[in-house]
Structures are given as structure tokens and as C-alpha cells.
Amino acid sequence: MSNIDIPGIPDAAWRPLSADDAEAMSTLQQACFVEDGGYRITATEMREEFDRFGDDAAVCSIGAFAPDGQLRAFGWAQVPDSGVTEHRGFVWIEVDPAYRGTVEDGLLTWVEEAGARRLQRFADGIPTAIYRYEVYDWMADTIALMERHDYEIVRYFTENIRDLSQPIEECPLAEGLIARPWSVHAEADALTVHNAAFADHWGSQPIEADTWRSYNAGEFFEADTSWVAYDGSTPVGYVKSAKYPHDFEDRGRTESWIEGVGTLQSHRGKGIASALITMALLGFREDGMEYACLGVDSENPTGANRMYERLGFVPEKRTLAFRKPTPAGSAV
């Protein structure tokens, strides 16, 4: 990899990334945030990415370092370990605004090809594809880049907000159901619910226990506003939350996020998700937050968009998801 030279950044030294580069990656991403919008990613969050995908970084990441040590661009293909209907890689590139228009095509090609090679380790006949998520609909240059490389828009997601100064109606669980606070045991039960509840959702693949725990172990996870619902001893629904104080100034408000919510298919229509979200909203407001936020698939098959509207959420932003089959796979 020491011989890699992607045109566009003079005198840059290209090499794989590691957790030691988390600060530099965060600095670059935050410079890109100023240009692109979206959200800042802290060095802590970058290190968490290496905890989850460190093996991929050794062979599927690359960064351009200037002679003064500044990171000018990076790319990374992250490939989760499991897939049922499709094995997927996710490309991520960031380019210093001062060098845009010169390096993106070569960088995306390199990262995509690295991800495709990584996907070849799955020799089970399941289709494979490369994705890019979280492209905001105002990012015209990024959209054009993905289209030049034959990616197709396959989904739209909305980010929704809820003003917590507005009344929050009580929404108790139905008789016979109880909600338990987040714990080690409840976390495992929530994963069971999640994997079953999202089996019929577009783009969802089962999450491994280690990955699930890593999502809930970070400093931004909010256990106090995360709950699991039970019917007797059977877990049937969950909600989990997070808070990102480093975004408050940029967003012009304090806010907490509903990071995940799900209900077993056998228990849908009983108001479980509404009750759990309401519990989280009340907790957010008690914590002094001004808004609640959540993201949702615009074509969610469970009617979640209507539920969120009833609970007071309104759309604020829209993101796009791109997909490109790799040579080893085909469309599903």
C-alpha cells in the first residue's frame, strides 16, 4: 500500500488508517462539516469505529497526509461480518474542501475496490453490494460523484424533530405489559427484539451481539431514557436513546435522539412503540432537552411515519442511500 498515489493532493503520503489517527480524522471531518452540514464526529466516535471495524481499516482504509502531518483526505470501506439476504460494504470518504474536485473520483474508486475485495471473503452465494448512506439531499457534488460511479439511489430517509415544549400526552402500556429500564440483561433482550422486528425492513441485516454492545457502550448512549417492554417474561419492544452535546451549538438547540425503536410483529398495533417513545420524550424533557430527534426510512413498512406524526414529530432533513452491486453479487 505504500506505493498508492491517488492524484489530486500534491506531496501527500497515502497510508492505511488506525485508531491513532482518530484525532486527525475528526479534525478533517469537522472541517468537512462546516462545508457540508450534517453532524460533527468526535475523536471518541472515530475510535469507536475502529473498535467495530478495525480489521477492515488495515486493508480497506487510506488517508492522505501532507508533509506537515495534516490529514487532507481519507476513505474507508466498512464490511460487517454477517448478512442474511446480502453482504454489504459501506464506503465513507472525506476530503478537505481545499482539495475537492481533484481527488474524490480516485479515492472513491480505491475504497470501493477495497471493499469489494473484502466482500469476497463471503463465499456463500449471497449477493454483495457497496452502499453509501447519509448523503444529504443538498450535497449536489457528492450525489453527482456517486452517480458518476454508477451508484443508484435506493432509499430516502428523513430526520424528524419534536418540540418538547409542546404537550406530551400520556401513553401507558396496555394491561399485562411492563417496561424495564436498560440493563445488561435488557440490552440482550432488546437485541433479540431488534433483529426480529427489523427482519422485514429494507436494508436490515441481523446485528451481532458484540456490535450491539459496542453501540450501547459509547459515551453518548443514554441508558436512563432507554427501555425494554415485556409481555410476561418475553421481550416485545424496545427504545434506546443518545445525546450528542457537541452538536448543540451547531444545531442551535439542545436535543436527544431516539436511536432505535422496535416491536415484535406479533405485538404490533398494541401501542408499545408509542408508549416507549413517550417515556423517552418525558425523560428528555426532564433532562432539560428542548427537542427530540429521530431518523426513519421514508418507506417504513410498519406505519412508523404516521405514529411519529401522531407523537408530534415533523420532518426536518432528508438523506439518500446509494447502492452498487459488486462483481460477486447481484441485485436483491
Q: Could you tell me which of 125, 126, 129 has the C-alpha nearest to residue 151?
A: 129
Q: Is the dihedral of CA 151, 135, 243, 76 positive or negative?
A: positive
Q: What is the pLDDT of residue 330?
A: 41
Q: What is the pLDDT of residue 329?
A: 44
Q: What is the mean pLDDT of the chain?
A: 93
Q: What is the pLDDT of residue 331?
A: 39
Q: Could you give the percent of the chain with pLDDT greater than 90?
A: 81
Q: Find which of 58-67, 75-84, 206-215 is predicted with most confidence, using mean pLDDT.
A: 58-67
Residue 208 in contact with residue 81, Cβ under 8 Å?
yes
The pLDDT of residue 252 is above 70: yes
Buried b (16+ CB within 10 A) or exposed e, 80-91: beebeebbbbbb
Read off the pLDDT of residues 270-299 as tens digits, 9 standing for 90 and up.
Answer: 999 999 999 999 999 999 999 999 999 887
Q: What is the pLDDT of residue 5?
A: 78
The CA distance from 139 to 297, in Å, is 19
Higher pLDDT, 267 or 331: 267
The pLDDT of residue 193 is above 60: yes
The pLDDT of residue 332 is above 50: no
Among 30-44, 184-198, 201-215, the minimum mean pLDDT is found in 201-215
Q: Could you give the percent of the chain with pLDDT greater than 70?
A: 96
The CA distance from 206 to 87, in Å, is 11
Q: At 254, is the pLDDT very low, low, confident or very high (cuts 50, 70, 90)? A: very high
Map out the domains of the chain with their CATH numbers: 13-158+321-325 (3.40.630.30), 167-311 (3.40.630.30)
Read off the pLDDT of residues 116-173 as tens digits, 9 standing for 90 and up.
Answer: 999 988 878 889 999 999 999 999 999 999 999 999 999 999 999 999 999 999 999 9
The pLDDT of residue 65 is above 50: yes
The pLDDT of residue 86 is above 50: yes
Rounded to a whole number of angstroms, the distance between the first and last alpha carbons of the chain is 33
Q: At 301, is the pLDDT very low, low, confident or very high (cuts 50, 70, 90)? A: low
Q: What is the pLDDT of residue 54?
A: 87
Q: For residues 59-74, give the mean pLDDT.
A: 96
Q: What is the pLDDT of residue 151?
A: 98
Q: For residues 75-80, give the mean pLDDT.
A: 95
What values do phi and psi take at 135, rounded to 5? -100, 115
Higher pLDDT, 217 or 188: 188
Q: At 302, is the pLDDT very low, low, confident or very high (cuts 50, 70, 90)? A: low
Q: For residues 19-39, give the mean pLDDT.
A: 96
Q: Could you tell me which of 15, 159, 137 has the C-alpha nearest to residue 6?
A: 15
Q: At 7, is the pLDDT very low, low, confident or very high (cuts 50, 70, 90)? A: confident
Q: What is the pLDDT of residue 328?
A: 58
Residue 29 in contact with residue 73, Cβ under 8 Å?
no
H helices of the chain, where? 22-36, 43-60, 104-119, 140-148, 184-197, 209-215, 248-251, 272-286, 304-310
Q: At 322, is the pLDDT very low, low, confident or very high (cuts 50, 70, 90)? A: very high
